[in-house]
Structure 1
Amino acid sequence: MSVDAAGRAGNAGSSRAYRNFVVWFLALIYTMNFLDRQIVSILGKQISHELHLTKTEFGFLGGTTFALLYTTCGIAVAYLADRANRAWIIAFACAVWSLFTALCGTAQTFAQILLFRMGVGFGEAGGSPPSYSLISDYFPAQDRGKGLAIYSLGVPLGSMIGAFAGGKIAVAYGWRSAFFAVAAPGIVLAVLMLLVVREPKRGGLDVVIDGAAHPPPPSLGVAVAGFFANRTLVLTAISSGLSAFVGYAGLVWNPQFLENVKQMSEADVATWYALVLGVTGVIGTYGAGWLVDRLGQKDRRWFAWVPAVAFALSIPFWIGVLWAPTWQLAILFIAGPALLNNMYLAPALTVAQNAVPPARRTITGAILLFVLNLVGLGVGPVYVGRIADAMEAEHGANALAYGYAALLPVIGLTILAHIAASYSISRDRRLAAILPG
């Protein structure tokens, strides 16, 4: 077991300031990525009214169709990114998803906006997996959780900005203008990405196991088979998928739940929900990365225990959301899941990036996202929407509350999945060499 000395020297040649600049710049791009992905949930009431969508159709629009393109294309893009310049791929992807976000504002039918959302998913497939790999070559193993947590701040920040800016623009100018406005910054960031982010040496900061150098990138079939033969990765993917199931269901439906069930105005959603989403999400996402970098050095199982504990603590908050008599109280209870249900992502990404050799990182991240988004984004919103549609005839606007109540058993399964992952993490040979806790 050794370290790639030449690579360490090359990657260490990047100053701490530049390393931090890169990860924060990537986090900014991810913020726009997630903003473009999630803004449809903020605009859902206006879109559904104008295009005459059922809750099931909106669930497909907000989750399933996007997830199908995002997950399947992500694996192909990741295979390329393990062999090509990752910064260029991220820049191209950013330009593509921004263009299709703008096109969503031109849609006249459900079929058109569905097609454009699929285009957004295609573009965003090239964003996160190459970014995970790039960050892992700028941050050594003991700091990787922090680096990936900073990047993951794009989730709550994108959600917050989307809820605030998208909501305010939609109230003032309509939902189409909101799509145009949030798409424009992505084109600028795509150009800047080409100019300011350098491609580091792959694996330059990593321990070499069983050899004098890191192995080369495997074929796509070998990489996929290797992922599903690795118990740690499979259990991490399952637990992350269930976590995302709950998280995305809330992200897609919270605005309409607050408006229809708790009688919160669109303007108040744009202000107060956005604020809660951003502040709590940042604390939960960064806090999880900070915690696992420290606790994981003592016991690697904390990479799974942290999200397990967080989801257990979220249960009473979900119950409070359902029973809150006013939107003001409901928004306070939503702060709990918004913080706690974000605490799985940074630990899962850190495990996945450390559990494989450097040449497999991008494809491994893509497969993890495939499972996470197919289960979470692809099924979670539709699950809640289908239950709400089934209950609508009898319960009217309160039907969404029954969809939310049906998330509680899923949370129980999520906790069990994280506990199962902890046992595999503690026995993983590569993780033991890199994270000897």
Structure 2
Amino acid sequence: MTATTADAPPGHLTGFGTKGYRSYVLTALLIIYILNFIDRGLLSVVAPQMKPELGISDTAFGLLTGFGFALLYTVVGIPLAQFAETRHRVWIMTVCVALWSLMTALCGLAAPVTIGSITLGAFWILLACRVGVGIGEAGCTPPANSLIADYYPPKSRSTALGYYAMGVTLGGLLANLIGGPVTDAFGWRTAFFVLGVPGIIVALLFKLTVKEPPRGYTDPPGAVRKANPKFSEGLKELASKPSFWTMTVAATIAAFCGYGIASFQSLFLNRSFGLTAGEAAVMINAPVALASAFGTLATGWLAEKMSKKNPNAIAWLPGIGLTLSVPFYFWGFTTDNLVFCAIGLCIGGAIKYGYLAAQYTIGQGVVSAQVRAVSTAVMLFVINLLGYGLGPLFIGALSDLLFKMKVADLGAAELTRKMCEGAARKALSVDLQQVCSVAHPESLQQSMLITASFYAIGGLFFFITCRWLQRDMVAKPNG
């Protein structure tokens, strides 16, 4: 069964609802996306205190922050997105926000559990809670993007999506501003309660105040919509859009670098500059997140303003940003001056995070209305499984490998990462403490530098996207 929008109101020009109500809904979606990334990123904020307590390696921490979260997040995301193509998107988001908020709070209860003769360590309990957070968060972005596409017409959608995408960086900002000081004052477990519980209240308010718009409301007149689109049809449509796949490769590489670096940034600051979780969060991570949020919104806004004369700006602007971010990250990770470190990381974040606005604008723009949620889910499946899942794990594993090589070269092969962290380090001899002071920070630093260099490859794929973008676009910014 199909329907056309020939007799529909001019939604492709105005969007759904009044201007004020559209702004309210977009802000509500932004708040939810902020919560999404607060709960997702909090583990990295509390790492300087939590990691020594659990006594885990950098590799295990990378698994906890990355792949442990991303696996079911990506697997569940596609069926949820398919469900969102025909079901009530507001209800889906309400349930999912409540679920991930509850699981975030439960992370604070992670402790060894004995079941019969088997004892599960706190690491495994925390990993199980992180999996639960991932399942809940899988129901956020695909239906949210689909809602935005019905509330906002194509001509203003890149700015709206850029505004929504600020949730990534603002979530990181608030996770640091709130989670860092709470961790220093009350412990890392309390931080999970403080930042997890409010999401349950937000979920209820969202359901009570946000309307489900007619599906395809902003489609151009005469557009054909299928009542029950199949997932295979969505994949078939995506298969004919090379710009979608080159953009996805670019965004995946950017996510691989970004999630990996963000996961270990507090640990880097702790090892290289001796900052506590709260100090790293407030002094460095929060300013970096704020600068990154500005860059995300600015790229979407600038691309929209340039679209008439430069319709491919939404692709080449983030390409430039990713490429130029590399030297600033190198500066930030190699300087011995904390102020210069902050400046380098702030500039790098501001000019590279514009790719978020691009990935959502292109991901939606090249497909018809009925496969927008599936398009977003497929894109996020690749980005999160390979980018978010492997980025932190790569940095952690490479850091541990470099650590073993460095301590062996320094004649202290018996040293482990655990021995160089927390109270355990004070029990070492003076000579071994000196080895720790070199190998412990430098192994992570070099791992971060290697990873940051990959941003340039992501930039290259955004430039390649320009080749097919205008041919593939369905939702023309000026249409």
TM range (shorter): over 0.9
Match of 2:238 among 188, 205, 227: 227
Q: Distance in 1 between matches of 2:41 and 2:145?
A: 20
1:308 maps to what in 2?
A: 319
Stretch of structure 1 that moved more, 268-277 or 160-169: 268-277
Return the match for 2:459 from 397, 415, 418: 415
| Mapped partners of 2:106, 2:288: distance in 1 | 26
2:167 maps to 154
CA 1:167–1:9: 2 relative to 1, 3 Å: closer
CA contact (8 A) 2:96 2:137 kept: yes
1:111-144 per-position Cα deviation (integer Å, ceiling 9, x unaligned): 1111110000000000111000101101110100
| Cα gap change, 1:294 to 1:121, in 2 (>3 Å) | same
Asked if 1:349 is matched to 2:360, the reply is yes
Structure 1 residues 7 and 104: alpha-carbon distance in aligned structure 2, compared to 1, 3 A threshold:
farther
TM-score (norm 2): 0.87
In the other structure, the counterpart of 1:277 is: 288
Aligned counterpart in structure 2 of residue 130 of structure 1, from 143, 153, 164: 143
8 Å CA contact 1:78–1:362 kept in 2: the answer is: yes
> How big is each residue's C-alpha offset from its partner over 1:322-343, in whole Å with a ceiling of 9 and x where there is no partner?
2211222211111022212211
**Displacement of 1:436 after TM fit?**
5.3
Query: Could you say if the C-alpha distance between residues 250 and 5 of structure 1 is closer, same or farther in structure 2, counting changes exceeding 3 Å?
Result: farther
Matched, 1:200 2:213: yes
- Is 1:118 the counterpart of 2:162 in the alignment? no
Matched residue, 1:386 = 397
1:184 equivalent in structure 2: 197
CA distance in 2, matches of 1:116, 1:267: 23
Q: Could you say which residue in structure 2 is the equivalent of 1:399? A: 443
Relative to structure 1, is the Cα distance of residues 49 and 421 closer, same or farther in structure 2, using a 3 angstrom cutoff?
Answer: same
- Check the 8 A contact 2:241/2:366 in 1, yes or no: no
Offset, 1:312: 1.7
Larger radius of gyration: 2
Per mean C-alpha deviation after superposition, the further-off stretch among 258-267 and 28-37 is 258-267
Q: Does structure 1 retain, via aligned residues, the 8 Å contact 2:16–2:217?
A: no
In 2, Cα distance between equivalents of 1:257 and 1:32: 25
Structure-2 separation of matches of 1:349 and 1:88 = 22
Deviation at 1:376, TM superposition (A): 1.5
Tell me what 2:10 maps to: 8
Relative distance call for 1:173 and 1:13 in structure 2 (3 A) is closer
Distance in 2, Cα, partners of 1:331 & 1:289: 25
Secondary structure at 1:6's aligned position in 2?
Answer: coil
Q: Is the 8 A contact 1:66 1:117 kept in 2?
A: yes
Instruction: Measure the CA separation in 2 of the matches of 1:157 and 1:428.
Output: 32
Secondary structure of the residue aligned to 1:207 is coil
1:90 paired residue number: 93
Distance 1:96 1:88 in 2: 12
Contact 1:255/1:269 (8 A) holds in 2: yes
CA distance in 1, matches of 2:227, 2:366: 16
Given that residues 4 and 213 in structure 1 are in contact (C-alpha distance below 8 angstroms), is that contact kept between their aligned partners in structure 2? Answer: no
Post-superposition shift, 1:13?
5.8
List runs of 5+ in structure 1 lacking aligned partners. none
Task: From the superposition, tell whether residues 104 and 96 of structure 1 become closer, same or farther in structure 2 (CA, over 3 Å).
Answer: same
Count the aligned residue pairs: 432
Larger mean CA deviation between 244-253 and 16-25 belongs to 244-253
Percent identity, aligned pairs only, is 31
Partner of 2:106: 103
Which consecutive aligned stretches of 4+ in structure 1 deviate over 4 angstroms post-superposition?
A: 2-5, 9-13
Give the aligned partner of residue 324 of structure 1. Answer: 335
Matched, 1:80 2:91: no
Task: Please state how far the C-alpha of 1:9 moved relative to its aligned partner.
Answer: 5.5
The change in CA–CA distance for 1:105 and 1:18 in structure 2 (over 3 A counts) is same
Q: Does 1:145 align with 2:158?
A: yes
Deviations 1:376-430 (A, max 9, x none): 1111111111111011131222211111121244122112111111112133253
Matched, 1:333 2:335: no
- Is residue 263–residue 327 contact of structure 1 (8 Å, CA) maintained in 2? no
Tell me which amino acid in the other structure corresponds to 2:70.
A
Q: Is this contact kept in 1: 2:74–2:385, CA < 8 A?
A: yes
Deviates further, 247-256 or 33-42: 247-256
The alignment's TM-score, normalised by the length of structure 1, stands at: 0.95
> C-alpha deviations, 1:319-376, integer Å up to 9, x for none?
1012211222211111022212211011120111121111111111111111111121
Indicate if the aligned counterparts of 1:7 and 1:205 stay in contact, CA closer than 8 A.
Answer: no
**TM-fit CA distance, 1:262:** 2.7
8 A contact 1:41–1:251 mirrored in 2: yes
* Alignment-derived partner of residue 427 in structure 1: 471
Q: Distance in 2 between matches of 1:12 and 1:333?
A: 40
Q: CA deviation at 1:56?
A: 0.4
Letter in 2 for 1:419: F
Q: What SS does the corresponding residue of 1:214 show, helix, strand or coil?
A: strand
Does the Cα contact within 8 Å between 1:285 and 1:346 map onto a contact in 2?
yes
Q: Quote the RMSD (CA, aligned, Å).
A: 1.8
What is the CA–CA distance in structure 2 between the aligned matches of 1:310 and 1:111, rounded to whole Å?
A: 38
Query: Counterparts of 2:310 and 2:284 in 1: how far apart (Å)?
Result: 36
Q: Which amino acid aligns with 1:145?
A: S
Q: Is the 8 A contact 1:261 1:400 kept in 2?
A: no
Maintained 8 Å contact 1:75/1:370: yes
Tell me by how many angstroms 1:435 deviates: 3.4
State the shift of 1:199 in Å: 0.7
| Structure with greater helix share of residues | 1
Name the structure 2 match of 1:249: 260
Distance 2:477 2:223 in 1: 20
Pairs within 5 Å for 1:366-377: 366-377=377-388
